[in-house]
């Protein structure tokens, strides 16, 4: 399966990181070995420093598709959750500065924790989903998918021109503002609406 991720898809996050607003979706992949499920702990790698959380709405592809028009995209996913795009920020910044790919800074083992998937029929309108992240009981990120620069359906149209989407692939749709550093013993709880879907600790 593929883990497809969107960068710079919320204006406030572009501003906090000093990027211009993108004119087309910014896409990168994580390997399947990055996936972390069932609320398993995340172990801070000892060879990386300044590891950041990025809470994101994640959709799961339910059907094979290629070159999917945005108006039909909703037929290709039916479950949603929240995941954390864990990022080695210092390494990523060094790579960006040098004009090099940031794959390693985004794709190391365990860098894609995901919550329990909720049927969209239960979660509601994909373009109007509240989500948030609490660390040690304090809300650090809070947004709504209506603030996405590129909507989920637009992203699917764009990405599926390049990559055939397969059942079980997942898409991290981008993070809002409020990203920050993870510390040992942090407890992360991510919410879709009021429902906690992901709850894990940093070790």
Please, what is the minimum distance in Å from the beta carbon of residue 83 to Mg ion? 9
Contact region with Mg ion (CB under 5 A), list: 22-30, 58-66, 130-138, 167-175: 167-175
| Type and span of the H or E element at 96 | helix 89-97
Contact region with Mg ion (CB under 5 A), list: 118-126, 143-151, 169-177, 179-187: 169-177
Of 85 and 169, which CB lies nearer to Mg ion in the complex structure? Answer: 85
Task: Single out the residue of 92, 148, 175, 191 in contact with Mg ion (rule: CB under 5 A).
Answer: 175
What is the DSSP secondary structure assignment for residue 199, as one 8-state letter? E
Task: Single out the residue of 79, 85, 153, 157 in contact with Mg ion (rule: CB under 5 A).
Answer: 85
Residue 66: exposure state from Cβ atoms within 10 A (0-12, 13-18, ≥19): exposed
Six-digit token pair at 33?
A: 């070995």
* Cβ–Cβ under 8 Å, residues 199 and 135: no
Per rule CB under 5 A, is residue 173 in the interface with Mg ion? Answer: no
Per rule CB under 5 A, is residue 111 in the interface with Mg ion? Answer: no
Please, what is the minimum distance in Å from the beta carbon of residue 125 to Mg ion? 22
198 contact partners, CB below 8 Å, separation of at least 6: 39, 81, 82, 83, 84, 113, 114, 115, 116, 188, 189, 190
* Cβ–Cβ under 8 Å, residues 87 and 96: no
Q: Which of 172, 130, 176, 169 is nearest to 152 (CA)?
A: 172
Per rule CB under 5 A, is residue 79 in the interface with Mg ion? Answer: no
Per rule CB under 5 A, is residue 153 in the interface with Mg ion? Answer: no
Per rule CB under 5 A, is residue 54 in the interface with Mg ion? Answer: yes
Please, what is the minimum distance in Å from the beta carbon of residue 161 to Mg ion? 21
* Cβ–Cβ under 8 Å, residues 44 and 111: no
Q: How many residues sit in the footprint of Mg ion (CB under 5 A)?
A: 3
Of 92 and 160, which CB lies nearer to Mg ion in the complex structure? Answer: 92
Please, what is the minimum distance in Å from the beta carbon of residue 121 to Mg ion? 27
Q: Which parts of this chain interact with Mg ion (CB under 5 A)?
A: 54, 85, 175
């Amino acid at each position: 399966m593929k883990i497809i991720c969107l960068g710079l898809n919320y204006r406030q996050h572009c501003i906090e990181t000093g990027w211009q607003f993108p004119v087309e979706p910014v896409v990168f992949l994580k390997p399947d070995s990055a996936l972390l499920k069932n609320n398993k702990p995340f172990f801070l790698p000892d060879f990386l420093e300044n590891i950041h959380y990025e809470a994101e709405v994640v959709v799961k592809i339910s059907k094979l598709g290629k070159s999917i028009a945005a108006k039909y995209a909703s037929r290709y996913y039916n479950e949603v959750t929240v995941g954390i795009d864990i990022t080695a920020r210092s390494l990523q910044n060094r790579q960006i500065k040098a004009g090099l790919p940031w794959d390693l800074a985004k794709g190391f083992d365990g860098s894609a924790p995901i919550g329990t998937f909720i049927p969209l029929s239960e979660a509601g309108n994909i373009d109007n989903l509240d989500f948030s992240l609490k660390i040690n009981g304090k809300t650090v990120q809070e947004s709504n998918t209506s603030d996405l620069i590129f909507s989920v359906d637009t992203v699917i149209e764009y990405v599926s021109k390049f990559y055939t989407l397969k059942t079980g692939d997942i898409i991290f749709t981008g993070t809002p503002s409020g990203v920050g550093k993870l510390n040992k013993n942090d407890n992360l709880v991510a919410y879709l609406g009021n429902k906690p879907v992901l709850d894990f600790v940093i070790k």
